[in-house]
Amino acid sequence: MHDKLNYLDFENAIFKSLELVNPTQLCELIPINNSIGRVLSSDIICKKNLPAFNNSAMDGFAIKFCDAGKTLKIKKSIFAGDKIDDLKESLKENECYKIMTGSKVPSCVDTIIPIENCSFVSESSVKIPEDIKKGSNLRFKGEEQKEGDVILKKGEVINSSIIALLASQGIMIVEVYKKITIAILSTGNELKEPWENSTDEEIYNCNSYALISQLKEKNFEATYCGVIPDDLEKSVEFIRNLKNYDVIISTGGISMGDADFVGEAFLKNGLDIAFHGVNIKPGRPIMMGKMRDSLVICLPGNPLTAMINIYLFVIPMLKKLQGEVFINHGFVKATNKNEFKTKKGRVNIVLGKVKNSIFEVARANKYGSGMITVLYESNAILVTSEEVSSINENQEVKLILLDGHFFDDKVNFLN
C-alpha cells in the first residue's frame, strides 16, 4: 500500500461511512432488569393510563371547591389502593374526605387541600382555608400518557428512565435488537500485551484495550482477536481465519510504511474499499469498506488518533448498525480561553477540556497523535473546518463532549 492516498473530505467521509451501514433487523426478548444500554426494536404503546386514575398528590382533605373557608365533617379516610367504587353516596353539604397521597379521588370532589394548610384538624372535622385554588393537588387520569399513545420509539437506547416507563406499563420482558458483534485487532511486531515483558524497543498494546473500553462505555461488546503480525501472508491468513463479525476494527498498519500490510491483507480477502484516506488531522490514513457481510474499519495505530476517530466516525456507524435512532453527535457551545493555531487545509480534531462553558485547548494544541495522556486530560473535542488556521481568544466554539449525547438530526459541529 505505497500508493499515494487520495484524501476524501471530512463531510464526505462521514456520509460514506454511514452509507456503508445497514441497520440490524435481528431481535430478541430480554428481561428489563438486563436491558440497560440495549436498543428497543419496537415502539412501546401505552396500555395503562399514566396516572391510571384521578388521584391525590397530597395527604390532606378532598373537598368540593364551593366549601372553601368552611368547617367540614370528615366522612371517611381514603388510603392509596382503596377501592372507592362503594362510595356511591356523594358528599353532602359541609362534608369532606380525609385522603392520602396516591389515593383514588371520588368523582364528587374537585380539590385537595394539604393537611398542613388546614386548621382545627380533629378526628371528625377540619377547617378549610378561604384562599384555595379549584382543582389543586389532583393528578388526573391519563394526563401524563393516555392508553394508545406511543410512549417510547423503536431505536431508543434503554436507560433507567426508560425502565421506569416500561415497569409503569407492567412490562417485564422487552423486545430489543440483538447485539452486533465486533472484532478488535491490533497490528505490529512492536506490540506486547500488558501482562508480557517488553524491551525498550517494544511497546504495550494499549489500543485494543482502550477501544474495547470505549465501546463498552457506549454499550457495545467487542471481542479482542489478537495482534496481526507485520507480514503480508500472515496478515492475509489471520484475516481469513477471523470468524464472522458484523464489524472488524483494526488499528495500525494502514499508512505508507514498508510494514503496513493491513489494507492489502483485507483487499486480498475480498474487501470492497469505500475510502482510504480522509483529509483530517489526526486520522488521515483511516480506511473503511465491506468484506462480505462485515464492515471493516481500519484506524491508524497512534493511540490518540485511534481513540478520537473511533468516537467521531465509528460510534455513529455502530449506533446505526445496532438500530439506534440517535446516532449523530451533538455539540455544546463554549468560549475559547486561549488562542491556538490549527493546520489550515485539513479538518483538525483538537482535544481540550471544557468547564463551566470555557474551553481550554490541550497543551496549546502542540501534542502528538502518539500521545495517550492528552486524551486522559481532555473531556471534549473541537473540530475545525478546512479553511480555519486559528481559534481566537474568547471565540465562541462548538464542542463535541467525549461523553456527549447523540441525536437523530445531523448538526454542523465544525468551527
Ligand X SMILES: Nc1nc2c(c(=O)[nH]1)N[C@H]1C(S)=C(S)[C@@H](COP(=O)(O)OP(=O)(O)OC[C@H]3O[C@@H](n4cnc5c(N)ncnc54)[C@H](O)[C@@H]3O)O[C@H]1N2
For residue 301, the partner it binds in ligand MOO, ligand X, none, with Cβ less than 5 to 8 A by kind, is ligand X
35 binds ligand MOO (CB under 6 A): no
CA 297/CA 314 separation, integer angstroms: 8
| Cβ burial 297-325 (10 Å sphere, 16+ → b, else e) | bbbbbbbbbbbbbbbbbbbbbbbbbbbbb
| Residue 246 touching ligand X (CB under 6 A) | no
Determine the Cα angle at 149 with ends 143 and 154, to 5°.
130
Site string for ligand MOO, 284-323 (x = CB under 6 A): x---------------x-x--x------------------
* Helix (DSSP H) and strand (DSSP E) numbers for the chain: 8, 29
Rule CB under 6 A: say whether 328 interacts with ligand MOO: no
Q: What is the DSSP string of 62-86?
A: EE-GGGTTSEEEEEEEE-TT---TT
188 binds ligand MOO (CB under 6 A): no
The residue within the footprint of ligand X, chosen from 17, 54, 214, 251 (CB under 6 A), is: 251
Question: Should residue 186 be labelled a site residue for ligand X when binding is judged by CB under 6 A?
Answer: yes
* CA 40 remoteness from chain centre: 13
Asked if residue 194 binds ligand X (CB under 6 A), the reply is: no
Plot region of 137 (φ>0 → left; ψ -120 to 50 → alpha; else → beta): left
Contact between 253 and ligand MOO (CB under 6 A)?
A: no
**CB atoms < 10 A from the CB of 145, how many?**
19
From the list ligand MOO, ligand X, none, pick the one residue 207 interacts with, judged by a Cβ distance below 5 to 8 Å according to partner type. ligand X
The interface mask with ligand MOO, positions 359-378, x = CB under 6 A, is ----------x---------
Cβ closest to ligand MOO, residue 107 vs residue 373: 373
Least distance CB 372 / ligand X (angstroms): 8
Binding mask 1-30 for ligand MOO (x = CB under 6 A): ------------------------------
Return the CA Rg of the chain. 30
Give 39 or 308: the residue with its C-beta nearer to ligand MOO: 308
Q: Does 282 bind ligand MOO (CB under 6 A)?
A: yes
Contact 394, 334 (CB under 8 A): no
Selected range binding ligand MOO among 30-38, 149-157, 217-225, 277-285, rule: CB under 6 A: 277-285
Closest residue by beta carbon to ligand X: 301
User: Does residue number 111 form part of the binding site for ligand X (CB under 6 A)?
Assistant: no
DSSP character at residue 52: S
String marking each residue 359-388 x if it binds ligand X according to CB under 6 A: ----------xx------------------
DSSP character at residue 256: S
Is beta strand 328-329 parallel, antiparallel or unpaired with respect to 406-407?
A: antiparallel
- Residue 370 beta carbon to ligand X: minimum distance, rounded to whole angstroms: 5
Does the footprint of ligand X cover residue 260 (CB under 6 A)? yes
State the first-to-last Cα distance of the chain, in angstroms, to the nearest integer: 33
For residue 291, give the H/E element and its range: strand 287-291
Nearer to ligand MOO, 137 or 255 (CB): 255
Q: Report the distance separating Cα 81 and Cα 101, nearest Å.
A: 10
**Given CA atoms 65, 70, 75, 81 in this order, what sign does their dihedral have?**
positive
Total residues contacting ligand MOO by CB under 6 A comes to: 8
- Given ligand X, ligand MOO, none, residue 250, with its beta carbon under 5 to 8 Å by kind, binds none
Smallest separation, CB 370 to ligand MOO (Å)? 7
Contact string 275-304 vs ligand X (x = CB under 6 A): -------x-xx--------------xxxx-
Contact residues for 218 (Cβ-Cβ < 8 A; gap 6+): 315, 318, 319
Shortest spacing between CB 391 and ligand MOO, in angstroms: 18
